[in-house]
């Protein structure tokens, strides 16, 4: 098990609740899947201070030289208008090669702070 930093930039309201984002995962220490870059189309639904987010996209893992499809689902709680606490689960399916010894799938969970500009 290892630790990674996830950096995401995007716009979640290009048209209604639909948006786009680019995500980079950077390995810090321990055993990780390695650095990757992905892009996704997202949909955001809002109720009160909570935002639900669903994303579908694709990316590339540099350590394994492998492409993947991505599905993500998450929730944000806006502490103030521009700062939120978030949790997100992502599933990657690797098209060319196993990322795990017996599987082409990789699941990850991320949590942290989100700042909106």
**DSSP label at 16?**
T
CA distance 85 to 107: 21
More confident residue, 12 or 98: 12
pLDDT value at position 103? 83
pLDDT value at position 41? 98
Q: Residue 71 above 80 pLDDT?
A: yes
Least confident of 1-15, 17-31, 45-59: 1-15
Per DSSP, the three-state class of 52 is: strand
* CB-side neighbour CA atoms (13 Å) of 89: 3
- Environment class of 40 (CB within 10 Å of its CB; exposed 0-12, middle 13-18, buried 19+): buried
């Amino acid at each position: 098990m290892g630790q990674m930093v996830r950096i995401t930039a995007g716009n979640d309201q290009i048209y209604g609740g639909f948006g786009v984002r680019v995500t980079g995962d950077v390995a810090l220490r321990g055993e990780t899947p390695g650095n990757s870059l992905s892009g996704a189309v997202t949909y955001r639904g809002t109720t009160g201070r909570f935002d639900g987010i669903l994303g579908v996209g694709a990316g590339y893992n540099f350590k394994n030289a492998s492409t993947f499809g991505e599905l993500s689902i998450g929730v944000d709680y806006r502490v103030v208008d521009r700062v939120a606490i978030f949790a997100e689960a992502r599933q990657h399916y690797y098209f060319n090669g196993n990322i795990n010894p017996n599987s082409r799938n990789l699941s990850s969970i991320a949590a942290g702070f989100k700042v909106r500009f």
